[in-house]
Amino acid sequence: MADTATRFFNREVSWLEFNLRVLEEAASPDHPPLERAKFLSIVHSNLDEFFMIRVSGLQEQVEAGFSEPSRDGMTPAEQLEEIRERVVAMRHQAWQVYSGQLQPLLAEHDIHLLGYEQLDDRSRARVQRYFDTVVYPVLTPLAVDPAHPFPHISNLSISLAVVVRTPKGEERFARVKIPQVLPRLVPADQPSSSGGRRRNRPAYVFVWLEELVAANLTKLFCGLDVVASYPFRIVRDADFEIREDEAGDLLQTIERGLMRRRFGSVSQLEICSTMPEEIEGILVQNLEIDRRDVYRSEGVLGLSCLMDLMAIDRPDLKDRPLRPRTPRRLQGDLFAAIRERDVLMHHPFDSFVPVVEFLQAAANDPDVLAIKQTIYRVGSQSPVVAALKDASDKGKQVTVMVELKARFDEENNIEWARVLEASGAHVVYGDVSLKVHCKLLMVVRKEGDGIRRYVHLGTGNYNAKTALLYTDLGLFTCDPVIADDVTALFNVLTGYSAPRSYAKLMVSPKGIRAGLMERVKREIAHAHAGRRARMVFKMNSLTDFQCAEQLYAASQAGVDIDLIVRGSCCLVPGVPGLSESIRVRSIVGRFLEHDRVYYFWNDGAEEVWLGSADLMPRNLDRRVETLFPVEDSGHLRWLADVYLPAYLSDTAKARVLRPDGTYERCGTDVEKRISAQEWFIDNAGDDGNVSLG
């Protein structure tokens, strides 16, 4: 039996292992060049969020003197030390991928990412004109001396630490912020070395904005000698708590929190490798950080902007286009189709358009009386919000539960809340202490002498853009019992109705943990009785120690368990006497795996539950979440016999978690590798699911 220190993996270390798997995709020749740039961008944006949320939280614990180890055996200080060691190595590896692989590869395909000194005279003249007319008017040099206090440095911004010399020979320090309102990658003319257009394709040439600014600092410091400049970048604590006594008006509280986020403590200072220790010391002192929170980078800072390259019109350097399918039965009367039979959607392989059309049809249907929906992340320019506004404008009773605390999407949600309120919709902001993360949509329609309620439940957000990038499952149904449950849950969310038991849904807090663990215990009972016992769970993260302990107990009873966990996993698989019948795999591919699926063999009376909840303490105890059963026999068979086996058969993008915490690729034979995502692209059937044949 494993001891305490090896019984669980540390959540933060496990997450860093996940980000390494993303980095592996950036380095993989399986992807087209621009897709590799996208993955490298995601690696860096993931690290930014990791420091904004997870690292900043650990730093606060250390500052508060908290030194108790967690269930994985690591104290906050030990976690920070381990994180630093791993992040330094990861940044080095990421830079090697960029400079040694990606940059030369893009150049072979006429996409050049150059330093200012690499531009020829013609290109330099062009970017100089851009600097003079666009960049220069935006810049503001800020002196730092007794009369000029050290300026505020905003989160995720890049700045230049500038050393200038006065005519008297005195050296001074100044800061120049690189404008975040302008593109980091500045288009430039093609350098003569690239040989002109090749194969009738235009060349794309870019120079980094901070290099363009650095080359023109004499225009900002007239009469002074510019001795040197060094780029640096900071990441701030971007999490904020909402105390109940501060939240009389949740909307205003969130807005104040967004302002505080700009001024949060610095969790990371990233500097260029050439910055002298003296300049580093000035930054460390004025930003009030520990030198252990300083990270030296070998090259360009903040490579998350590489995502901008995806706007280049070079389809030959991207994945083959995805053409989501709309099932034939959803191309007519949506209400009639749902009345006939539940509809299971598998995004992005099935189009998200029917969900939007469902709302639009409800807005235009004179028999529709009311629409109720939860909103977590709908993005900007949302067709979902537009349809809800249209419905309200047309006199429907529209009630929208807007989760203002959706991290990094708060500003969008505040904007949508005000738009909907202005249209006359009932907008509710939810509980101060509980995020509303469940995905619910209900349309109340008059039919004959009564009403019928049409419900959509999903694993993902009502976001038309991410529905093309994330894998998710959604269910349309007019089952009256599920409709009763959804109605009751909305009453809890919008009014004073007390939480109740639900006939078919599992609802957190409390309900999902209890419901899932009850079914795990049922599989254990089957195993003890000598019957076959099996479970397959698919989720984003597994970090709840209680759930992990219950899965260990199931393994020790002989239950066969497969876990498909995209990100962090605290459970240790394959340990004799503890977890030897548990296998854990992670799939990182073209689409972000986002659906949560819980399958139980149940002595042949199989059950499949879908929903919004991962096996994490926050999802089970501190959020409003739902899991819903799949009761249509055809859908259940597809999930059990096609969907889950496809992911368990993946040998192209799957990695298997080893007992030592590392991940190992499943397939070594390139010709025989199977990608579940690519298989779904090729095999979606007309009923909206992959053909069972």
| Residue-wise pLDDT tens digits, 186-226 | 999 654 444 444 555 668 999 999 999 999 999 999 999 99
With vertex at residue 268, the alpha carbon angle to CA 262 and CA 271, rounded to the nearest 5 degrees, is 110
pLDDT(507) > 90 = yes
Q: Which of 682, 673, 679, 671 is nearest to 646 (CA)?
A: 679
The mean predicted confidence, pLDDT, of the chain is 89
CB 178 within 8 A of CB 210: yes
**Residues 200 and 286 reside in one and the same domain:** yes
**Residues 457 and 308 reside in one and the same domain:** no
Domain boundary among 282, 297, 317: 317
Q: Indicate the pLDDT class of residue 40, thresholds 50, 70 and 90.
A: very high
- Ordered DSSP codes for 630-655: ---HHHHHHIIIIIHHHHHT--SSEE
Which has more pLDDT, 472 or 197? 472
* Identity of residue 48: D
**Residues 440 and 511 reside in one and the same domain:** no
Average pLDDT over residues 389-410: 78
Peptide bond into 509 cis (omega under 30): yes
Asked if residue 82 belongs to a domain, the reply is yes
Average pLDDT over residues 601-615: 97
Which has more pLDDT, 500 or 656? 656
> Rounded distance, CA 100 to CA 121, Å?
26
Q: Indicate the pLDDT class of residue 264, thresholds 50, 70 and 90.
A: low
The pLDDT value given to residue 3 = 45
Count of domains for the chain: 3
Asked if residue 323 belongs to a domain, the reply is no
**Residues 384 and 431 reside in one and the same domain:** yes
The pLDDT value given to residue 279 = 96
The pLDDT value given to residue 415 = 72
Least confident of 37-46, 163-172, 252-261, 532-541: 252-261
Buried residues in 566-590 as b, exposed as e (16+ CB within 10 A): bbbbbbbbbbeebbebbbbbbbbbb
Asked if residue 392 belongs to a domain, the reply is yes
pLDDT(431) > 90 = no
Asked if residue 524 belongs to a domain, the reply is yes
* Identity of residue 502: Y
Q: Which of 400, 392, 404 is nearest to 372 (CA)?
A: 400
Angle of helix 383-393 relative to helix 410-422, nearest 10 degrees, comes to 20
Residue 607 domain boundaries: 506-683
CB 437 within 8 A of CB 403: yes
pLDDT in tens, 282-293: 999 999 999 999
**Residues 636 and 487 reside in one and the same domain:** no
For this structure, is 437 an active site residue? yes
* Identity of residue 552: Y
**Residues 157 and 25 reside in one and the same domain:** yes
**Residues 302 and 426 reside in one and the same domain:** no
44, 437, 526, 635: which is the annotated catalytic residue? 437
pLDDT(546) > 50 = yes
Q: Indicate the pLDDT class of residue 419, thresholds 50, 70 and 90.
A: confident
Average pLDDT over residues 543-557: 98
The pLDDT value given to residue 693 = 27
pLDDT in tens, 93-129: 999 999 999 999 999 999 999 999 999 898 999 999 9
**Residues 63 and 199 reside in one and the same domain:** yes
**Residues 482 and 607 reside in one and the same domain:** no
CATH of the domain at 557: 3.30.870.10
Q: Which of 451, 456, 405, 402 is nearest to 425 (CA)?
A: 402
**Residues 430 and 465 reside in one and the same domain:** yes
Rounded alpha-carbon distances, angstroms, from residue 645 to 98, 536, 690: 35, 10, 12
Q: Indicate the pLDDT class of residue 257, thresholds 50, 70 and 90.
A: very low
Q: Indicate the pLDDT class of residue 163, thresholds 50, 70 and 90.
A: very high
- Give CA torsion, residues 671, 674, 677, 681, to 10 deg: 70
**Residues 481 and 530 reside in one and the same domain:** no
Peptide bond into 33 cis (omega under 30): no
The pLDDT value given to residue 610 = 98
The pLDDT value given to residue 201 = 63
Which has more pLDDT, 254 or 561? 561
Least confident of 253-262, 342-351, 428-437: 253-262
The pLDDT value given to residue 245 = 41
CB 475 within 8 A of CB 393: no
Average pLDDT over residues 672-679: 90
Q: Indicate the pLDDT class of residue 166, thresholds 50, 70 and 90.
A: very high
Domain boundary among 494, 515, 531: 494
The pLDDT value given to residue 542 = 98
Q: Largest Cα–Cα distance in the chain?
A: 92
> Rounded distance, CA 357 to CA 7, Å?
48
Asked if residue 322 belongs to a domain, the reply is no
The pLDDT value given to residue 243 = 40
Q: Which of 506, 491, 240 is nearest to 370 (CA)?
A: 491
Average pLDDT over residues 561-570: 98
Domain boundary among 297, 317, 337: 317
Average pLDDT over residues 364-393: 89
Lateral strand order in the sheet of 158-165: 141-144, 171-177, 158-165, 225-236, 266-272, 294-297
Share of the chain above pLDDT 70, in %: 88
The pLDDT value given to residue 434 = 78
> Rounded distance, CA 25 to CA 29, Å?
8
**Residues 144 and 49 reside in one and the same domain:** yes
> Rounded distance, CA 453 to CA 445, Å?
6
The pLDDT value given to residue 175 = 95
Which has more pLDDT, 685 or 307? 307
Measured in residues, the chain has a length of 693
Buried residues in 244-277 as b, exposed as e (16+ CB within 10 A): eeebeebbebbeebeeebeebebbbbbbbeebee
